[in-house]
Structure 1
Amino acid sequence: MIEEIQIRDLGVIESARIELDRGLTVITGETGAGKTMVLTGLGLLLGGKADLGAVRPGADSAVVEGRLVPPPGHRALDVAVDAGALLDDDALLVARTVSTSRSRAHVGGRSVPQGLLGEIGAELVTVHGQSEQLRLRAPAQQRQALDSFAGAAHLAAVAEYGAAHAARQDAARALARWDEDTQAREAELERLQRALERIDALEPRAGEDVELRAEAERLGNVEDLRTAAQHAHDAIGGAEDLDAPEGAVALVDQARRSLAGAAAYDATLQEWSSRLDAVSYQLSDTLTEIGSYVTGLEADPQRLDQVHQRRADLSDLARAYTDGGTLAELLDFAAAARERVGALTAPGAGREALAAELDRHTAAEREAAAALTASRIRAAEMMAAAVDAELAGLAMSGAQMTVELTPRDDLGPWGAEDVELLLTAHPGAPARPLGKGASGGELSRVMLAIEVAMARAQAEAGERTLPTFVFDEVDAGVGGQAAVEVGRRLAELARHTQVIVVTHLAQVAAFADRHLVVMKTSGTGQDAVTNSDIRVVEGTDREAELARMLSGDATSAAALQHAAELLERPVMGP
């Protein structure tokens, strides 16, 4: 609900603090006193368009601040927190500053776009003024009103149909893309198949590049390898041209025999002798292996050319199909290409599969649409009956509202039918679209009847928390007993949620739980500026305000008596 509004330098209001509460709050005051500025300020808090000319003369800017208290877990809190707003005991502190050149918005101490205020406001407050009555005349809004009236189970059917409709559209687009992309898909398949033919012809193996590089190094350096190995062989086995012709094996054996002769006298020598035994065996084995290596090491120019060619072929192919040009990337590309070719050529992966998918989603959409239509038919009858009952209480007993469902030629985003509210204003009159068959006053009462009927249905079902309702001149064009019934319906609606009403009728104001009066004081002198103040009236002050509204004279004895009677009527009933 809206807990508090503070207004500074907006129109005729220099400074005003409005404390609001649950139930029905009415705002009254003389014409030109500034009632409109109160709603203008509220509209700014809810993201409405700023009128830069509304800044009070002599002021640099107008400021409107408010404290909004959503129910726990309400989506408006999530929207605000996602924007970086800080909460004040689970309340939203919102502010709007309007100067002659720009407008700024804040939520929870954070500067935000004006649109965010609008998003939060739409979640928390529903405003019914002249523009909102025009909105009710739009078919889309009438359909939404019916769907909201129908309750949570129906809204679930709306959501189910919406999902089915979206799925069918996705399937249709996928099939259309398939038809449009046939040439590109065929070109892709040909390109991948050609690449795989080249790769398969070469038959690359994982790790082959490392093996080929090692073989190329060996074959390209045969003489260096032979020389190094032969020198090592001579050093171990001995050679005539060396400084120690007996070689490492002979020297180690000589050392081992020297130690073995005295090993019986010292265990340390025995240990060294054992170590030299092991060294001798290793040297002998190594000598044999080196000899075999040298014997088998032969230059093979033909094989070297083959290795170089193989490496070049692999490198060229890898560079042709990968960014990095490595064998590993080439093998990955080949695996992905095979998978893609399989997808493009597999049975059931072509147009037939997409067409079957579209048929499946089309059937699901039609089934969901039929269920939604049946639910709307039931809801339309219930809504019409509920609104008619309210209209009878609003001195429109001869009026009837019809919720007409017109089948569409195709299934739209909202279902298989268009929804239109028709009003029969009096017996014998034709049923006409709500926007054409209702005067301003009648439309106000129809709107109130719809909101009361919806609020009652939703409250009885315990389905959702209602928003705050703001009515601007909802009683326009009515008077007498009709005005009393308007007030009674507003009070009924206020049993379920916060309702704020700007009214000029005492019969309506008498039903208020909280009565605010906008009072105007005119300055003196050539440059004087009119100022308005807002205060709560109770007791005799409230009777005087009702008397003023009834007769224009707050001191009229007859009007005061009538005011007292009106204040008793809400408790006593009609």
Structure 2
Amino acid sequence: MLRTLEIRDMLIIDRLELEFQSGLNVLTGETGAGKSILLDSLGFVLGWRGRAELVRSGAEQGEVTAVFDLPKGHPAHGVLAEAGFEDADELILRRVNTADGRKTGWVNDRRVTGEMLRALSDTLVELHGQHDDRGLLNPKGHRALLDEFAGHDDLLAAVKSAWNTLSKARKALAEAEAAYKAAQAEEEFLRHSVGELDKLSPEPGEDAELDARRRMMQASERIRDDIARAAQVMGQDGAEGALSDALRWLEGVSEAAEGRLDDPLAALARAMAELDEAARGVTATLESLEFDPHELEATEERLFALRAQARKHGVAPDDLSGLADTLRDRLAALDQGADRLSRLQSELRSAETTYDSAAMALRDSRVAAAKRLDAAVCAELAPLKMERAVFVTDLSAASAGADGSDAVAFTVATNPGAPAGPIGKIASGGELSRFLLALKVCLSEQRDAGLTMIFDEIDRGVGGATADAVGRRLAALAEGGQVLVVTHSPQVAALGAHHWRVEKRVADEQTTSTVVPLDTPAREGEIARMLAGDTITDEARAAARALLAG
């Protein structure tokens, strides 16, 4: 519910603060007094696109603040939560427009975009008027309004679920067909490549191992002779034999040396042991360098084959094994592709059957609801002096989607025998207002109680008993909620629970607009003015008192 609206330096409004109430709030005033400026200002703070120049002449900036009460369960809570706002039972919207055209908005003191304000406004305010293009006169919203009237949320959920399943089945089949087609295009390549890699049977790390073995064999001929000569020098005919002789000779005279040869003998024994270990290592190296020349040739052929396959497929040699697995899987998918396509096609047909069934059930419910809505609207038209008019909810086939496969349009015929047509094109201004109001009354039971409804001169073109009927339906709509009405009809104004008069004042050659709350005596005078014009007669006052008395 809109609780407070503060306006500063907007068009001809200097400073204005309004405290609105629940129920039917009426705003009256002479033409040009500034009633439309109030709606422009409210639309500005809600992020609606409207007049470009709003700042009052001579002011640096204009500012509008709107305060809304948010009861539990209000849809605005969801919008705020999604944007990361803390939950609160009060919503403060503020927006500033500088003289150079820059616009800045805040929600609960946090800066936001105009898109965020518009998202909130959809949950806060519903505007209706003769040129309404945001609500009932927009054919794009007629299907949602019919569904709201029907109350078949379970059927809508079933269709949405079936559509999601159908969409996934279509996507899966399309992807599988594309993959199968691509696989078929490279079948020859896959079979040839898998055959080559299977024959080669590469192993991770094999390239480095083969390369090291190859380099060792290539180098062995260059180093083997030197290693063999070293082995000979270290052997029995060389250093080992000489050391053995020296050890034998010294051991033979060690007793005569009276212990002076003990340390040299021990050192010589250690040297013999080290020499023996070195000789074994050199011998082992010589043995490892012995190779069959055919082995070098086979190693090189294997190494070159691995690297050729790696270059061919643009991968590292160590990745050839993984590539072989991948190509093998693609080939298997090709071999199994026909069976998989058949299974996916079967799943798609099943999903289509499920969706068609759910969409048909939703269509049947819509057809039944359309008949009930048409009867309800026509019943409301009679008291509005349009008992001969016809309202028809037209259903036609539409492209299938998450909301079904029906297009919905509200059509009307204002005279017997006349062809029906779109509600926004057939009805005149006054007729359009009454069609609009009748439809809103029929939809009122499904309306969110936290939504503020605004009717801008919806009673234009009607008077007398018809205007009274309009006012009573507006009052009924306001029960348990909030309705704001800008009106020139005294019958409508008299039915308001709260009444404000919009006035234009001129002081020091400056024109400003203000809004004055009216008590009962003042309401009587305002309604008398609306009945009689500039000269208020006793008869007009008596008529005003009669209207206020109901």
**TM-score in terms of structure 1 length:** 0.79
**1:319 has 2:311 as partner:** yes
SS at match of 1:30: coil
Report what 1:405 is aligned to: 395
Separation in 1, partners of 2:274, 2:72: 83
Separation in 2, partners of 1:117, 1:468: 15
- Does the CA contact (< 8 Å) of 2:206 and 2:318 recur in 1? no
Report what 1:472 is aligned to: 456
Separation in 2, partners of 1:316, 1:119: 62
* Cα distance, 1:167 vs structure 2: 5.1
Report what 1:261 is aligned to: none
- Does the CA contact (< 8 Å) of 1:126 and 1:469 recur in 2? yes
Which stretch has the larger CA shift, 378-387 or 418-427?
418-427
Report what 1:446 is aligned to: 435
SS at match of 1:543: helix
Alignment of 1:152-191 (within 5 A): 154-165=152-163, 168=166, 184-191=182-189
Report what 1:545 is aligned to: 526
Q: Which residue identity does 2:424 align to in structure 1?
A: G
Report what 1:389 is aligned to: 379
- Does the CA contact (< 8 Å) of 1:219 and 1:300 recur in 2? no
Q: Which residue identity does 2:477 align to in structure 1?
A: L
Q: Which residue identity does 2:528 align to in structure 1?
A: A
Separation in 2, partners of 1:379, 1:392: 20
In structure 2, the CA distance between the partners of 1:553 and 1:75, relative to structure 1 (3 Å rule), is same
Instruction: Provide structure 2 residue ranges, at least 5 long, that are not aligned to the other structure.
Output: 252-271
In structure 2, the CA distance between the partners of 1:146 and 1:82, relative to structure 1 (3 Å rule), is closer
- Does the CA contact (< 8 Å) of 2:72 and 2:89 recur in 1? no
Q: 1:535 aligns with which of 516, 524, 527?
A: 516
Separation in 1, partners of 2:222, 2:432: 105
Report what 1:65 is aligned to: 65
**1:334 has 2:318 as partner:** no
- Does the CA contact (< 8 Å) of 1:68 and 1:94 recur in 2? no
Separation in 1, partners of 2:429, 2:463: 13
Which stretch has the larger CA shift, 131-140 or 33-42?
131-140
Separation in 1, partners of 2:543, 2:71: 39
Deviation digits for residues 159-191 of structure 1 (CA, Å, limit 9, x no counterpart):
433454465466557666777887644223333
Which stretch has the larger CA shift, 372-381 or 55-64?
55-64
Report what 1:376 is aligned to: 366
Separation in 1, partners of 2:13, 2:296: 98
Alignment of 1:45-194 (within 5 A): 45-72=45-72, 76-80=76-80, 91-97=91-97, 99-132=99-132, 136-151=136-151, 154-165=152-163, 168=166, 184-194=182-192
- Does the CA contact (< 8 Å) of 2:411 and 2:421 recur in 1? yes
- Does the CA contact (< 8 Å) of 2:235 and 2:241 recur in 1? no
Deviation digits for residues 230-275 of structure 1 (CA, Å, limit 9, x no counterpart):
899899998742698359xx99xx9xxxxxxxxxxxxxxxxxxxxx
Report what 2:213 is aligned to: 215
Separation in 2, partners of 1:128, 1:389: 21
Report what 1:7 is aligned to: 7
In structure 2, the CA distance between the partners of 1:378 and 1:313, relative to structure 1 (3 Å rule), is same
Separation in 1, partners of 2:323, 2:216: 31
* Cα distance, 1:334 vs structure 2: 2.0
SS at match of 1:530: strand
Which stretch has the larger CA shift, 386-395 or 360-369?
386-395
* Percent of paired sites with the same residue: 35
- Does the CA contact (< 8 Å) of 1:133 and 1:444 recur in 2? no
In structure 2, the CA distance between the partners of 1:296 and 1:181, relative to structure 1 (3 Å rule), is closer
Which stretch has the larger CA shift, 429-438 or 382-391?
429-438
Separation in 1, partners of 2:290, 2:437: 105
Q: Which residue identity does 1:501 align to in structure 2?
A: V
- Does the CA contact (< 8 Å) of 1:5 and 1:19 recur in 2? yes
User: What is the count of residue pairs matched by the alignment?
Assistant: 532
In structure 2, the CA distance between the partners of 1:224 and 1:145, relative to structure 1 (3 Å rule), is same
**1:34 has 2:24 as partner:** no
* Cα distance, 1:135 vs structure 2: 5.8
Q: Which residue identity does 1:534 align to in structure 2?
A: V
Separation in 2, partners of 1:466, 1:357: 44
Separation in 2, partners of 1:29, 1:451: 25
Separation in 2, partners of 1:90, 1:191: 68
In structure 2, the CA distance between the partners of 1:282 and 1:485, relative to structure 1 (3 Å rule), is farther
SS at match of 1:521: strand
Which stretch has the larger CA shift, 66-75 or 437-446?
66-75
- Does the CA contact (< 8 Å) of 1:544 and 1:554 recur in 2? no
Task: Please report the RMSD computed on the Cα atoms of aligned residues, expressed in angstroms.
Answer: 4.1
Separation in 2, partners of 1:186, 1:213: 38
Q: Which residue identity does 2:331 align to in structure 1?
A: V
Separation in 1, partners of 2:107, 2:171: 41
In structure 2, the CA distance between the partners of 1:72 and 1:302, relative to structure 1 (3 Å rule), is farther
In structure 2, the CA distance between the partners of 1:88 and 1:373, relative to structure 1 (3 Å rule), is closer
Deviation digits for residues 395-420 of structure 1 (CA, Å, limit 9, x no counterpart):
434444232323x2864665343323
Instruction: Provide structure 1 residue ranges, at least 5 long, that are not aligned to the other structure.
Output: 255-279, 570-574
Which stretch has the larger CA shift, 288-297 or 141-150?
288-297
* Cα distance, 1:431 vs structure 2: 4.7
In structure 2, the CA distance between the partners of 1:366 and 1:561, relative to structure 1 (3 Å rule), is same
* Cα distance, 1:19 vs structure 2: 2.3
In structure 2, the CA distance between the partners of 1:352 and 1:515, relative to structure 1 (3 Å rule), is same
In structure 2, the CA distance between the partners of 1:236 and 1:88, relative to structure 1 (3 Å rule), is farther
SS at match of 2:510: coil
